C-alpha cells in the first residue's frame, strides 16, 4: 500500500488559497472586460493590465501549491523530516527555558515567497499541546524572530516518549499562521501540520543527542528531506 501511495504524486491548490484565487481571478476578468469595452479605440491598457496581473496571479498560484507527498522510506521511527520547503538557516545548540529547561538542538528552515508554504509534521507521534503567541514581525531569518515574532508552538511526543517542538513563525510579510494540529490527536509524517502565508520560518527543537543530517544553507523539501535522526 505504501509503494502505491508514493506513486500518486500530484499538485493541488491548498485550501487556504482557494477563496483568494477565485475572487482574484474574477476581479481580474471583470477589470479586463471593463478595459476592453470602455476603451475600444486603444487596446494597449487592456494588454498591459493582462500582462502585469497574469504574472502576479501566477506568483500567487505558485505560492498556494499543495503537493501531495509521501515520505520515500518505509521506516519513520526516529526520523525527523523537514516540516517545510526552504533552506536551512540555523543549526545550533540552545538553552530552551520555556518548555524543556535544558539544552536543545534547534534546526530552522526559512521559506521564501517562492516556496510551498504548507507545513508537515516532522515526526510521528501525538500532539501534546498547541499554543499561539502574538508578537512582532521581524524578518524571519533573524535570530530574534524565533522568540519575538508572532508564532505557534506545537509540541509532539514520539512513540518512545521523546518531545519535539515545532514552531511556526510569522515573518516581515507573513501575517497569518494556520495550525491544524489538535491537542491529543495522533500525528504522522506525510500529514499537514499547518500553513503560513507568505515568507516565514519553521523551527524544530530536538533532543541534544539527535544526529544532524543537513548542512547550513541546504535546500529542504518538506516531508522528504531528513533533517535529523533521534538517538
Residues assigned a catalytic role: 200
Let me know: does 104 contact 206? Beta carbons within 8 Å: yes
Pairing label, strands 102-111, 186-187: unpaired
What span, in angstroms and rounded, lies between the C-alpha atoms of 36 and 31?
Answer: 9
Q: Single out the residue of 55, 62, 87, 50 nearest to residue 11, CA to CA.
A: 62
Q: Which cell goes with 33?
A: 472586460
Torsion of Cα atoms, 36 then 60 then 58 then 34, to 10°: 0
Amino acid at each position: 500500500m505504501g509503494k502505491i501511495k508514493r506513486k500518486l504524486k500530484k499538485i493541488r491548490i491548498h485550501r487556504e488559497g482557494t477563496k483568494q484565487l477565485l475572487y482574484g481571478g474574477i476581479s481580474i476578468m471583470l477589470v479586463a472586460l471593463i478595459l476592453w469595452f470602455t476603451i475600444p479605440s486603444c487596446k494597449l491598457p487592456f494588454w498591459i493590465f493582462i500582462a502585469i496581473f497574469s504574472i502576479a496571479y501566477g506568483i500567487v498560484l505558485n505560492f498556494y501549491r499543495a503537493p501531495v507527498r509521501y515520505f520515500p522510506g518505509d521506516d519513520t521511527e526516529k526520523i525527523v523530516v523537514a516540516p517545510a520547503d526552504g533552506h536551512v538557516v540555523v543549526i545550533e545548540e540552545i538553552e530552551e527555558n520555556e518548555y524543556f529547561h535544558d539544552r536543545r538542538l534547534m534546526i530552522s528552515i526559512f521559506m521564501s515567497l517562492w516556496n510551498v508554504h504548507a507545513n508537515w509534521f516532522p515526526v510521528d507521534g501525538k500532539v501534546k499541546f498547541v499554543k499561539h503567541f502574538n508578537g512582532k514581525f521581524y524578518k524571519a531569518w533573524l535570530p530574534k524572530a524565533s522568540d519575538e515574532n508572532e508564532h505557534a508552538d506545537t509540541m509532539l511526543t514520539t512513540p518512545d516518549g521523546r518531545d519535539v517542538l515545532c514552531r511556526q513563525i510569522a515573518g516581515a510579510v507573513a501575517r497569518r499562521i494556520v495550525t491544524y494540529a489538535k491537542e491529543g490527536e495522533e500525528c504522522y509524517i506525510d500529514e499537514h501540520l499547518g500553513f503560513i502565508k507568505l515568507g516565514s520560518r519553521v523551527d524544530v527543537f530536538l533532543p541534544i543527542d539527535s544526529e544532524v543530517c543537513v548542512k547550513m544553507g541546504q535546500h529542504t523539501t518538506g516531508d522528504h528531506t531528513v533533517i535529523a535522526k533521534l538517538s
